[in-house]
C-alpha cells in the first residue's frame, strides 16, 4: 500500500468504557491528527499531493461553473464540498481552439486554481508565507494554468518557485475569448451596474478574493499577495492595478511582457455583432438566448480568435465599462487613481522573434510594414534601417514590433505609475539568449523569462550553463524579496534601483552580467510616442 493511500485512511478513535461501575478502567481521550497535506478552508477541505518539497493542490474551484444562464454573468459562489477533495488533477482549460491542431479543447466549467505550498506551511500555525498569484498569457483567447512543455511538464509549475522563495504559489484559470469578454445591451440589462463584458477580469478578482479568504489555510499570508502575469496575463495584471474592484486584494504586482491597452465598448460591440452574425444569431428574436444556446465550440468556430505576438490582438479584450474599468488604465494611472502598490515591469529584448518567420524577405517585410502602419510606414522604416540589424529583415521587423508593442508602451505606463504614486516602480529588460540549439537563434524571446521564474531550464534534458543558472537564481531572488518585503533588494543581489523617468533606468537581466543601465531604446521610444501618442 502506498504512502499516499495510507494518508487518506480515516483515523478510527477507540475508547474503553466501563460497564455498570464494575471496572476501574478509565477512558483515555485521544486527539485526532490532521493527515499530512490536508488544508481545511471555510469552503471545503483539500488533500494535496507531494511535489518536491511542496504540497500541490490542483483544480480547486473558486467559483461556480459559468454555464447555462451563468454564461456571461459575473462569477458566482461555488457550492462548498462536504467531503475531502482529492486535489491532484488540474481543472479543465477554458474553451479555446488549439493553435497546433485547431481542435476544440476545454470546458466552460473551468474556474479553478492551483496552490503549491511548502510542506511545513500546510496545517501549520507558524509564520505565514508570502503569496504569488500568477496569471497565464495567451492573448486572452488561449492558454491555461495547466499549460505544459516537453514531456508534459507544467509550464507554470509552482513547486520550485514555492520552495526557493519559501512562499505559496497560486495559478489561475479565467474565462477567455468571447466567453470572457463579450458584451451586449441585453447583458447590461441583467446587471445592477448596467454593464457587461470583462468576465475574465471579474474571474481574477474572484480568485483574489478566494486567496484573501482561504490562503492562510495553506500557510500563505493574505496581507502579502503579489500578483504577476506574463503576456495577456501581464495585461490583465495591469487591469487589476486599474480596477477599483481589486483594491486591497494584492500588495505587489509584476507585469511581464504585457501592456496596458484596453478596448472601448464600441469596439467590443463590433466584435459581438460580428459573432452574432457569423453564428446565425443576429436576426434571432432573442439574440442573447440564441448565443447562450450555442455550444462553446460553435461560438469559437463561428469567428475564430487570432492571437499574434507581433500583430494585432484578437478583439476579445478588457474594455472600459465604467465598472470593472472606470477609464483606460493609462488615464487612471495619469490621474493617480490606480491601486497603489510596488510594481515590477519586465520586457524581453526580442519579444516577437518566434512569431516571425526567420525566412522573411525584405520585400515581404516592406509589405507588412506598409500594411500595418500605413502612412507612417516610411517613418518607421527610416527609424529601423536594415543596416542596424545586420541586413536581416527578420531581425529588423522583430525590433520594430518588440519596441512598438512591448518595450515602449512599458516606458509609458512605468512613467505614469512612477509619477503618481509613492510606491516604487522597478523596470527591467530580460536580455538572455538561451543556449539551447533550438532556441539560441531567437534571442530573448517572448516568454523566455518564464522559464527562469518557474525554474524550467532543465526541460527536455537541457543542461543550462552556469551563467543561466546564476541568472535563474537572481531572478527568483528578486521575486522572492519583492513578494516578501515589497523591495527586490533584500539580499546581496545587484541593486535594482527604483525607476526614475528622467534617468529611464532599468535592470538588464543577462546571464553573468546583471547590471543597471539608463536609456532603454530612448530614441526609438521617443519616436513611437510621437507618432502613436496612444501607445
Is residue 231 among the annotated active site residues?
A: yes
Is the separation of the CB atoms in 402 and 448 below 8 Å? no
Q: What is the 3-state secondary structure (H, E, C) of 311-327?
A: CCCCCCCCECCCCCCCC
Check 144, 145, 146, 231 and give the catalytic one. Answer: 231
- Residue 418 CA to residue 96 CA, distance in Å, equals 37
- Residue 57 CA to residue 158 CA, distance in Å, equals 10
Region for residue 89 given its phi and psi (left: phi exceeds 0; alpha: psi -120 to 50; beta: otherwise): beta
Buried b (16+ CB within 10 A) or exposed e, 389-423: beeebbbbbbbbbbbbbbbbbbbbbbbbbbeebeb
Sign of the dihedral through C-alpha 60, 64, 66, 72: negative
- Residue 140 CA to residue 233 CA, distance in Å, equals 8
Is the separation of the CB atoms in 201 and 317 below 8 Å? no
Residue 373 is classified by DSSP as H
- Residue 396 CA to residue 245 CA, distance in Å, equals 41
Query: Helix 362-373 to helix 393-402 angle, to the nearest 10 degrees?
Result: 20
Q: Which of 395, 348, 400, 352 is nearest to 506 (CA)?
A: 348
- Residue 88 CA to residue 136 CA, distance in Å, equals 20
Secondary structure class of 115 (helix, strand, coil): strand
Is the separation of the CB atoms in 454 and 164 below 8 Å? no
Contacts of 139 (CB under 8 A, 6+ apart): 231, 232, 305, 307, 308, 313, 314
Q: Specify the residue for cell string 463561428.
A: 302
Q: Which of 153, 158, 133 is nearest to 62 (CA)?
A: 133
- Residue 224 CA to residue 372 CA, distance in Å, equals 43
Catalytic residues: 231
Amino acid at each position: 500500500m502506498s504512502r499516499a493511500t495510507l494518508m487518506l485512511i480515516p483515523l478510527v478513535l477507540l475508547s474503553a468504557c466501563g460497564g455498570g461501575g464494575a471496572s476501574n478502567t478509565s477512558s483515555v481521550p485521544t486527539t485526532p491528527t490532521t493527515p499530512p497535506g490536508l488544508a481545511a478552508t471555510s469552503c471545503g477541505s483539500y488533500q494535496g499531493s507531494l511535489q518536491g518539497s511542496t504540497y500541490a493542490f490542483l483544480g480547486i474551484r473558486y467559483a461556480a461553473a459559468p454555464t447555462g444562464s451563468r454564461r456571461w454573468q459575473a462569477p458566482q459562489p461555488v457550492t462548498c464540498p462536504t467531503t475531502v477533495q482529492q486535489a491532484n488533477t488540474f481543472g479543465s482549460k477554458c474553451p479555446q481552439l488549439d493553435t497546433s491542431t485547431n481542435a476544440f479543447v476545454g470546458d466552460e466549467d473551468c474556474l479553478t486554481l492551483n496552490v503549491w505550498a511548502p510542506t511545513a506551511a500546510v496545517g501549520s500555525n507558524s509564520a505565514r508565507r508570502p503569496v504569488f498569484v500568477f496569471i497565464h498569457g495567451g492573448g486572452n483567447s488561449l492558454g491555461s494554468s495547466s499549460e505544459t512543455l516537453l514531456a508534459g511538464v507544467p509550464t507554470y509549475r509552482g513547486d520550485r518557485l514555492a520552495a526557493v522563495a519559501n512562499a505559496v504559489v497560486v495559478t489561475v484559470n479565467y474565462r477567455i475569448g468571447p466567453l470572457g469578454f463579450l458584451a451586449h445591451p441585453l447583458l447590461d440589462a441583467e446587471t445592477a451596474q448596467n454593464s457587461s463584458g470583462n468576465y475574465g477580469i471579474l474571474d481574477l478578482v474572484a480568485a483574489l478574493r478566494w486567496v484573501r479568504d482561504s490562503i492562510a489555510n495553506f500557510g500563505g499570508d493574505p496581507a502579502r499577495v503579489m500578483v504577476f502575469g506574463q503576456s495577456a496575463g501581464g495585461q490583465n495584471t495591469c487591469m487589476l492595478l486599474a480596477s477599483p474592484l481589486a483594491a486591497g486584494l494584492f500588495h505587489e504586482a509584476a507585469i511581464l511582457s504585457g501592456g496596458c491597452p484596453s478596448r472601448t465598448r464600441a469596439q467590443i460591440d463590433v466584435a459581438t455583432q460580428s459573432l452574432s452574425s457569423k453564428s446565425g444569431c443576429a436576426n434571432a428574436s432573442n439574440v442573447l438566448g440564441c448565443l447562450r444556446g450555442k455550444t462553446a465550440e460553435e461560438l469559437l468556430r463561428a469567428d475564430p480568435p487570432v492571437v499574434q505576438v507581433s500583430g494585432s490582438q484578437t478583439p476579445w479584450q478588457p474594455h472600459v465599462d465604467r465598472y470593472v474599468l472606470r477609464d483606460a488604465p493609462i488615464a487612471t494611472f495619469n490621474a493617480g487613481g490606480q491601486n497603489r502598490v510596488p510594481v515590477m515591469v519586465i520586457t524581453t529584448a526580442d519579444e516577437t522573434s518566434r512569431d516571425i518567420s526567420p525566412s522573411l524577405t525584405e520585400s515581404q517585410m516592406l509589405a507588412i510594414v506598409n500594411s500595418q502602419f500605413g502612412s507612417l510606414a516610411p517613418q518607421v522604416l527610416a527609424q529601423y534601417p536594415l543596416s542596424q540589424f545586420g541586413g536581416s529583415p527578420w531581425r529588423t521587423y522583430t525590433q520594430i514590433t518588440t519596441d512598438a508593442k512591448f518595450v515602449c508602451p512599458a516606458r509609458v505606463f512605468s512613467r505614469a505609475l512612477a509619477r503618481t504614486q509613492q510606491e516604487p516602480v522597478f523596470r527591467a529588460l530580460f536580455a538572455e539568449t538561451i543556449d539551447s540549439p533550438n532556441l539560441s537563434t531567437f534571442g530573448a524571446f517572448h516568454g523566455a523569462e518564464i522559464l527562469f521564474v518557474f525554474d524550467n531550464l532543465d526541460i527536455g534534458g537541457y543542461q543550462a550553463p552556469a551563467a543561466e543558472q546564476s541568472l535563474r537564481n537572481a531572478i527568483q531572488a528578486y521575486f522572492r524579496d519583492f513578494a516578501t518585503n515589497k523591495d527586490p533588494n533584500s539580499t546581496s543581489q545587484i541593486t535594482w534601483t527604483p525607476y526614475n523617468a528622467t534617468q529611464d533606468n532599468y535592470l538588464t537581466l543577462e546571464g553573468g552580467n546583471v547590471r543597471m543601465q539608463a536609456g532603454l531604446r530612448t530614441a526609438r521610444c521617443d519616436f513611437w510616442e510621437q507618432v502613436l501618442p496612444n501607445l
